[in-house]
Amino acid sequence: MSAVTTSHPRVGRSGAPRSGSPRSRAIREPLVSRTSAMLIMAVFTVYFLLPLWWLLVASSKSTGDILTTNPLWFADMRLFSNIGDLFAYRDGIFLRWLGNSLLYAGLGGAVATLLAAMAGYALAKYRFPGREIIFDVVLGGVLVPATALALPLFLIFSQVQLTNTFWAVFLPSLVSPFGVYLARIFAASSVPDELLEASRLDGAGEIRTFFTVSLRLMSPALVTMFLFQFVAIWNNFFLPLIMLRSEELFPVVFGLYGWNNQLNQIPELRGLVLIGALLSVIPLIVIFLLLQRFWRNGLGTGALK
């Protein structure tokens, strides 16, 4: 995988100083170039944001208004009563789904990140026979994606009678081979060997050093790893589809999929699907705003080394 190891985009940014102020250069760029660049970006901003705007507007309407009023502008403002209806529907099953997703993605993402960090760190910082083989096998795991494994996982879980349980969706999402790959690259570049030697001279054990010193140095990468694993679990579709039958175990995205499929029989669900879709996206957008902040911190940390 040496084609991709040379520069890792997400964690490997060294935050190199960029000399020359952009402003002074901008003056020299021809007006035509600047205008066409802005025009391209403006057109695509509409493309990327319009569907979300439509979703927001549609979520604020009554089911009747969705079909009859201007789709891109508000009619009767019903956003909060729609949210109330959604939370009340079938004894608050939607809130249950939201909670399930937070548990699957929040706890699963955190554990997956820690385990990947430990493994990546061991592969980066210690020399031992079989190290390269282990790393290659893990990289093979990156190339054989989880969805190709959903059916075999189902077959295994049915052998031990664990399908249609919390564990059937939770346990497989604890494994993040790509996380190990990122952790190895980041540990190699951000945890200096001298620091580990110093820690050893102080008499600290290897594991303790990992948790007290190394993990902190790797934290920008850990946040990034966590957030991408969080999103992967939150968006996971095949595993719930094949594993889960009981509604009370569904993650929110899968629950909404079920409602969307029932629209032909129960048309009044349309409003709930839309407001539910909006609410299921908001936690992710919030968490990505956090990602932006951490990313900038990560940049700063990288620049110090």
Partner 1 sequence: MTTTAPAPTGTKRASATGAARPRRRPRVLHKGSIAILLAPFGILFALFYVLPIIFAIGQSLLVVRREGTFGKAELVFGGLSQYALVFQNEAFWASMLRMLAFGVVQVPIMLGLALLFALLLDSPLLKGKRFFRLAFFVPYAVPGVIAAIMWGSLFSPNLSPFTALTEKVDFLGADLVLWSIANVVTWVYVGYNMLIIYSSLLSIPSEIYEAARLDGAGQFRIAWSIKIPLVRPAIVMTAIFSIIGTLQLLAEPQVFRSFSSAVTSTFTPNMTVYATASIPNSNLAAAFSVVLAVTTFVLSFGFMKWMQKKGNA
Per CB under 8 A, contacts with partner 1 among 147-166 are 147-156
Residue type, 200: R
Structure tokens at 4: 């991709």
Other CB atoms within 10 Å distance of the CB of residue 155: 10
Of residues 91 and 132, the one with the C-beta less far from partner 1 = 132
- Considering only 64, 84, 92, 140, the residue that binds partner 1 (CB under 8 A) is 140
* 225 is a contact residue toward partner 1 (CB under 8 A): no
Window 183-222: residues binding partner 1 (CB under 8 A): 197, 200-201, 205-207, 210
Of residues 13 and 96, the one with the C-beta less far from partner 1 = 13
| Size of the residue set binding partner 1 (CB under 8 A) | 110
* 133 is a contact residue toward partner 1 (CB under 8 A): no
| Least distance CB 81 / partner 1 (angstroms) | 21
Residue 186 · residue 221 · CB < 8 Å: yes
* 26 is a contact residue toward partner 1 (CB under 8 A): yes
Residue type, 48: F
Residue 177 · residue 119 · CB < 8 Å: no
- Considering only 88, 263, 266, 290, the residue that binds partner 1 (CB under 8 A) is 263
Residue 164 · residue 243 · CB < 8 Å: yes
Window 41-70: residues binding partner 1 (CB under 8 A): 41, 44-45, 47-49, 51-52, 54-55, 58, 66-67, 70
Query: Which one of 81-89, 91-99, 129-137, 215-223 is the stretch in contact with partner 1 (CB under 8 A)?
Result: 129-137
Q: Read off the DSSP letter of residue 72.
A: T
Q: Which residues contact 228 (CB under 8 A, 6 or more apart)?
A: 10, 178
Taking CA 275 as the corner, what is the angle to CA 273 and CA 278, rounded to the nearest 5 degrees? 105
Query: Which one of 26-34, 77-85, 92-100, 215-223 is the stretch in contact with partner 1 (CB under 8 A)?
Result: 26-34
Rounded Cα distance, 70 and 53, in Å = 13
Rounded Cα distance, 213 and 10, in Å = 22
- Considering only 17, 90, 132, 133, the residue that binds partner 1 (CB under 8 A) is 17
Window 84-103: residues binding partner 1 (CB under 8 A): none
Of residues 200 and 216, the one with the C-beta less far from partner 1 = 200
Nearest to 216 by CA among 289, 288, 297, 138: 297
| Least distance CB 161 / partner 1 (angstroms) | 16
